[in-house]
Structures are given as structure tokens and as C-alpha cells.
Amino acid sequence: MSSVICSIWGPDYARTLTHWRQRFLHAWQDIEKLGFDERFRRMWLYYFGYCEAGFNARTISVVQLTAERV
């Protein structure tokens, strides 16, 4: 291998998590009607916020490495 491309997607994931959280909150009344409780809601809001903060702070990330054999 002599050619490697590294794509860093952490900042994109932070934005994605923001959108997921917003959509979750917007749909909460419908989700609640399915039988999910406040504990479920808080768990997901914590998850979205925790991950979003981690990606924004760059303490976690997602990368794709593409290697090419020459």
C-alpha cells in the first residue's frame, strides 16, 4: 500500500446528532403514544447530547481510511 486517504466525519456526525435530537423531540408526542415513557425520552436525549458533545469536542470521531495498492 502506498496511497491512503483519510476522511474525518466527526463534525458531520455532530450535526447529524443535532438533527436526530430535534426530530426526536418534534416526534415525541407520537412516540409517547406508542407506550414509551419519560425515562426512555431522557435516555435518548442524554445519548444524543453526549455523543454530539463528544464529536464537537473532538474527543470521539469517525474516520474512513481508503488504501490503494499500487
For range 57-61, the mean pLDDT: 94
pLDDT at 56 over 60: yes
Residue-wise over 37-61: b if at least 16 C-beta within 10 A, else e?
eeeeeeebeeebeebbebbbeeeee
Tell me the domain boundaries of the chain.
3-68
Residue 24: partners with Cβ closer than 8 Å, 6 or more residues away:
31, 44, 45, 48
pLDDT at 1: 55
Whether pTM > 0.85 for this model: the answer is no
Q: Tens digits of per-residue pLDDT, 1-48?
A: 577 888 888 889 999 999 999 999 999 999 999 999 999 999 999 999
Q: What does the alpha-carbon distance between residue 17 and residue 39 come to, in Å, rounded to a whole number?
A: 19
- Is residue 70 over pLDDT 80? no
